[in-house]
Structure 1
């Protein structure tokens, strides 16, 4: 981790003027008692969390658009409903118990204390900066930045299980995933738990966020079963095209943009020239890994199928992003390109492999987030001398086993109690009409007859 103790000096006088303007609106008490350099650090670190956090929040729109484009028109409103609901549930659960379960009192163990987050009074927090060892960012900004990450993990599950899962069982699972499961495995590394003490490394969450979502999605897909008509009795695979490639592409670009906050914000500080330089390098590596994944997927689909598959190219970019997330700072540009390129290969190989196994993943989230997340976490050892392949694999296996087994149990309980799958008639009708009541494209359905 970069040494954040140095004072950032970007533009010298310009920084001083900007900081002075910001401080003019703050607590008079803090301005009188807290050293100017300390306040500058606090302001820029807090601003970093907030700006990077709302970039990650915007990824919720990316997932919504991607899924809306990759499902059929009769299921678009359902996906949009799931995405706004899961983001909202994630925020509530992470405030209620998730954040403290992940960060409060873990101390090398397995989890913290499940209790609501209590934020300090702004004036008191500002005045407290005068104390030795004070935290150099606002507590609320840290909570916000951490919260938007947990929503990403839940979004991964939504896409995989699309077009045949009931709304309310899915949302019940989201409550448990965001409030309990994600915070527990997050505590193992980011909360200072046992994996952190062992030396496991995952900079921004290839495993802690993306593979967690992928394992939960895989467990759900196995118990839920494929969509009607996806696989023939003879083992044939019947493609089910999505409704809108423009929406899917827009969603991919939104996710790509949000990823700069995802990875860049995980530097966790913007209080020195060195930290800002690190963030800039992270942006470059993140962008190039995504580009490499997209180009490799483009070339491979042309070579293998004789035509370019736009869905593979979109997922190739996303797989490149997931792959570089475990370590976007340390790799050289050639290594970042290689890590992202392998992500593109993973998509082209594993999407058809899942079909052979009759695991119906509507948006390709399992190859993109689970398999590429595993790859990216292993690849950390290529660039970080203090990371070992053995430790990285232990972390992957531990987090994967916990998430998959617990997810399988929860999905099974839901399946055999309230049920998780809509009826055959409702699936054929479409979940917009069956579960939501508001169709995304009513002019394409029976409603157009009355217009």
Structure 2
């Protein structure tokens, strides 16, 4: 025990050197250091969710595109980091736009240079907040890529990343998290069911509409052909990685450790995910006669997406209900998009779009007075005596943010389609993006060229 305590103290001294010279570090100093450490760890957990997205998109698509999926994810995370540092963070959290303009967009903090240490009035250094928010941008961007899968040019990922990470996502984030007009209205989106997930899903919808379905996905009579992913084990592992990362996503959004409230947020997160997984399995079993694995996996993710907005506002029983509804919703939502011939290879529209809408609206029903007092955002929901006001604010957030993200993404992609094109040729799509875009295979031993000797 003594050895562990000394090691922990030594680690804190390395991370926060000023403590090493303080004869009697104050409680405030310790709290600031621990909060900074937790936020950074949470940000790293969220960033590691990219590993989950790589496996999710790879496992849900065909082997001939596996290397492309993995490579473009790493590349776009890198590019988004630079763009968000240069301009995106300033649009999201810059405070120099003036009172009127600041309702709609932030200005300032471009080419952001954080202070070396936490300054007076800060509970943690701004650098760790930047890292945390940057990880959210990367998640939203990876959600958008679901609508582009298996048919978009590599150049499309490059150009769209500039606009999405630089302008589209930051504006939505500013409206709700950066002191914008929806924040003033009391919009409750604790960790991003709307800001992160719905924004990414609307970009995915714009992409899949303009790119059109993959070859062979739909027949001339409108009937659908299922294009199976090549590795369901990858997909299951991706869900586990994302599930673990979600504790950084949700619990980290409390941005403090002193009162331990982040533990309650994590508690609700687990219940929401569990409800989604169970409900999705049961509904698929009931409707299809077989328990569908893909639906179950999507149900877990849908539960996580839905509870993301409400994890700090609702009681545990409500977290379970929110997850259960999300699990059922993701099943029927996927059927709906298939019926209207929208090709959504990784179910981004259902998991992140439909569940994101439900999760945001659920606050207007289940937010409690006590938890609203703790978070100090908005009002209690309809079922807790708050009337219809908070539900209206939540509905307003969904409609406005969803519409903006879709229209802005559609315009950018439509212009790109006219200028440089969005989709690879039919021949390139058939042989796969690994070879056509990169000149190699993700699984070279499985995809040998004809005539190549062992």
Give per-residue Cα distances to partners, 1:137-157, cap 9 Å, x unaligned.
012111111110000000011
1:363 to 346, 351, 356: 346
Question: CA 1:379–1:26 in 2, change beyond 3 Å: closer, same or farther?
Answer: closer
- State whether structure 2 residue 87 is matched by structure 1 residue 97: yes
Q: CA deviation at 1:104?
A: 1.3
Q: CA deviation at 1:38?
A: 2.0
Q: CA deviation at 1:438?
A: 2.1
Give per-residue Cα distances to partners, 1:345-369, cap 9 Å, x unaligned.
1111011111111100001010100
Q: CA deviation at 1:82?
A: 1.8
- State whether structure 2 residue 287 is matched by structure 1 residue 304: yes
Structure 1 residue runs of 5 or longer lacking an equivalent are 1-10
Contact 1:346 1:372 in 2 (8 A): yes
Q: CA deviation at 1:24?
A: 7.1
Aligned twin of 1:116: 111
The 2-side partners of 1:299 and 1:38 are apart by 49
Aligned twin of 1:244: 231
Aligned twin of 1:65: 55
Aligned twin of 1:228: 215
Q: CA deviation at 1:308?
A: 1.7
Aligned twin of 2:384: none
RMSD: 2.1
Question: Which 10-residue stretch deviates more, 160-169 or 67-76?
Answer: 160-169
Q: CA deviation at 1:381?
A: 1.6
The 1-side partners of 2:428 and 2:442 are apart by 16
Aligned twin of 1:146: 133
Q: CA deviation at 1:299?
A: 0.9
Aligned twin of 1:206: 193
Question: CA 1:24–1:257 in 2, change beyond 3 Å: closer, same or farther?
Answer: closer
Contact 2:250 2:266 in 1 (8 A): yes
Aligned twin of 1:3: none
The 1-side partners of 2:24 and 2:122 are apart by 13
Structure 2 residue runs of 5 or longer lacking an equivalent are 370-378, 381-389
Aligned twin of 2:443: 441
The 1-side partners of 2:428 and 2:214 are apart by 12
The 1-side partners of 2:344 and 2:301 are apart by 15
> Which TM-score applies when normalising by structure 2?
0.90
- State whether structure 2 residue 67 is matched by structure 1 residue 77: yes
Aligned twin of 1:379: 362
> Which TM-score applies when normalising by structure 1?
0.90
How many correspondences in the alignment? 427
Contact 1:82 1:158 in 2 (8 A): no
The 2-side partners of 1:334 and 1:442 are apart by 49
